Each structure stands twice: as C-alpha cells, then as structure tokens.
C-alpha cells in the first residue's frame, strides 16, 4: 500500500480517537511503501504513534503528509489538556528530518492558546535551534495557527527551493511579524498563496503592519486573502527610469467586496496587467428574476459596482462558485 487517506473518517468521541490512534500505531510498521499519508482531521496523534511513524521502514519515501497535529510549547498555551497526546514541535522536527522526499506538508496547532498570553518573541534565527531540515522537493506547505516555536523557526531557515504553494493561518493579527518573516524567507518562489483569517482578532492597537505580499512574492499568480487588507497589495515604487514594474498576479480571492478595497485594487490595476479574475469567496450572485432594487442593494450592489468598474480593464468578478451573474 502506497496511500493511506483517513481524511474522510469522522470520530464521534475520545474513545474512538484513542482506538484510531492505537490502530494506527499497530498498522504503521506494516506499511513500508507508504508515500501518501493523510490523517483524520479530528485525530490527535499520540507520541507513541508518532514514534512508530518516525521509525518505520520506508519513512524516507514519504511524499505527502497532511492533517498532522502539533501541540504548542508550554510557554504559549493557556491550558495543556492535550499535552502528552499530541506531539510537540521537537517531535515533529525529528520526524521531518527522516522525510527528505516530502512534496506536500500540512501541520496544525490544536492547543487553545489564549490571545492574552500570546507573545511576539524575537525572530532570531541565530539562536540555539536544531539544524535546518533537508526538504529540497517540498512544493506545498500549509501551516495552521503554528506559534513561533522551534518548529516554525526551523522551517523558516530551511531552504525550500521548490516551494510553490503556501497556505497560512496566523494565530492572530498580532502575528503579522511571523507572516512577514515566512514570506521573506520563502516568498520569492511562490506561485500560490492563501492567507486565512486569523484564529483570533488582534488584541491590541500596536500591531505590526501587514506584510506587503506582492512585493515579497514576485512570481505569485494566485492570492487568497481571509480578510481584505489593502496594504498587502502594495508594491515598492519603481525606479523612475523603469516606469511601473508589472506583477504577474492572475487571480485574487477576497471574502467580499467593499468600497474601500475597491479603490485600493483599482489603484493597483496598472501594475497588475494580467489580473483576470477577482473572486468574492463568501458571496453568491442572486438568481435571475429578482428585482432590480434587490440587485442594487447591499453586497449585491457592491458586487455589481465592482463588476462594472473592473470590466473596463478586462477583469471578471466571480462569486464563491466562480460564476458570472446570470
């Protein structure tokens, strides 16, 4: 067997979770040719299961590892009900060190980190950390609410020359420094970037400014934003002799249109010459047959205004289903 995909399995309670963990621990050594492993979304992998995976024959042949859960370091967590059940950052580093052929990796933090306890620690890459990983073939990386810890810092300074697709869920709006560092390290090769809505809203007004995503990712073709943030679309001023430097962005996904964001996107259009689609991820076009008044009200009215303004530039505005209006 080369593929074990458990992503559709639903666990009803903790007893079933423990049984699934025990079954995986016994099964793991029997899968020496495993190349794709997708865990149960609600499965909290124990340290014994992780050890079985780390030491199994053929672990170096693993190409895709998704649904892996990590427990936050004690300094980050407001409560530790899961400690001992899920692997910590150091355990995952040891596992990843044995998977040099990984092409796709997805990791999520499951611990309830209180925003009042969340700390912005110094992103000092010269501090005492494990050596960088060796992941020369990694093409897709998804990090969901991973705090700044040894695992994150190790990934930050690991060379990922083939990375093309990145999905990030910041823990909160206060972690824009974390996102900026991630894009500074790996943004130049990205063609697809998804920044999901932070798990928690910002808890202070002294937040670090959002990263300038387009400036950090000069090869980006697809950008999905969990919340509209005009600053991410900013590009550095071009040299006077060179004129406006274009960016290759083709598709922009936002939650829903707004008048303020429309102005910001319109201002950037001269430097986005190949932008073809703007997608409103949370909105559907109303069906044909509704009154004109309904089409002009609220978010539908804003959608039609965006569509009319963008049509002048040859840019389509589509809804959550990638549809044009009927």
> For 247-265, how does the pLDDT look when each residue is reduced to its tens digit (9 = 90+)?
999 999 998 888 888 888 8
SS3 state of residue 165 = strand
128 has pLDDT over 50: yes
Q: Which are the contacts of 93, defined by CB distance < 8 A and separation ≥ 6?
A: 130, 133, 150, 151, 154
Looking at residue 260, its pLDDT comes to: 80
d(CA 148, CA 56): 29
Flag the least confident range among 78-82, 120-124, 165-169, 276-280.
78-82
Looking at residue 118, its pLDDT comes to: 47
SS3 state of residue 45 = coil
CA atoms within 13 A on the CB side of 3: 2
Q: Environment class of residue 34 by beta-carbon count within 10 Å: exposed (0-12), middle (13-18) or buried (19+)? A: buried
d(CA 142, CA 102): 13
d(CA 185, CA 187): 6
Most confident of 75-79, 110-114, 116-120, 296-300: 296-300
Adjacent-strand bridge partners of 142: 106, 167
Q: Given its phi and psi angles, is residue 170 left (phi above 0), alpha (psi -120 to 50 degrees) or beta?
A: beta
Buried b (16+ CB within 10 A) or exposed e, 282-320: ebebbeeeeeeeebeeeebebbbebbebbeeeebebbbe
pTM of the model: 0.87
């Amino acid at each position: 067997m080369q593929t074990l995909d458990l992503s559709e399995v639903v666990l009803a309670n903790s007893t079933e979770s423990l049984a699934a963990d025990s079954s995986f621990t016994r099964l793991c050594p029997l899968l020496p040719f495993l190349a794709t492993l997708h865990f149960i979304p609600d499965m909290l992998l124990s340290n014994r299961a992780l050890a079985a995976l780390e030491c199994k024959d053929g672990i170096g042949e693993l190409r895709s590892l998704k649904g892996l859960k990590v427990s936050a370091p004690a300094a980050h967590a407001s409560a530790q009900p899961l400690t001992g059940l899920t692997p910590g950052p150091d355990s995952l580093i040891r596992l990843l060190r044995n998977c040099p052929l990984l092409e796709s990796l997805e990791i999520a933090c499951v611990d309830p980190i209180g925003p009042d306890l969340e700390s912005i620690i110094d992103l000092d890459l010269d501090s005492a950390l494990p050596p960088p990983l060796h992941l020369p073939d990694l093409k897709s990386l998804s990090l969901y609410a991973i705090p700044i810890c040894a695992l994150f810092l190790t990934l930050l300074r690991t060379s990922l020359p083939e990375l093309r697709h990145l999905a990030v869920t910041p823990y909160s709006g206060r972690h824009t420094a974390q996102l900026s560092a991630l894009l500074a390290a790996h943004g130049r090769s990205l063609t697809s970037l998804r920044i999901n809505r932070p798990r928690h809203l910002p808890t202070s007004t002294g937040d670090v400014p959002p990263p300038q995503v387009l400036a950090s990712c000069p090869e980006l073709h697809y950008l999905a934003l969990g919340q509209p943030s005009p600053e991410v679309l900013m590009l550095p001023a071009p040299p006077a002799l060179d004129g406006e430097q274009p960016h290759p962005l083709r598709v922009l996904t936002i939650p829903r249109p707004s008048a303020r964001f429309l102005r910001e996107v319109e201002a950037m259009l001269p430097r986005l010459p190949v932008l073809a689609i703007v997608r409103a991820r949370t909105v559907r076009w109303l069906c044909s047959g509704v009154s004109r008044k309904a089409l002009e009200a609220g978010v539908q009215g804003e959608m039609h205004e965006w569509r009319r303004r963008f049509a002048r530039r040859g840019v389509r505005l589509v809804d959550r289903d990638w549809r044009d209006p009927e």
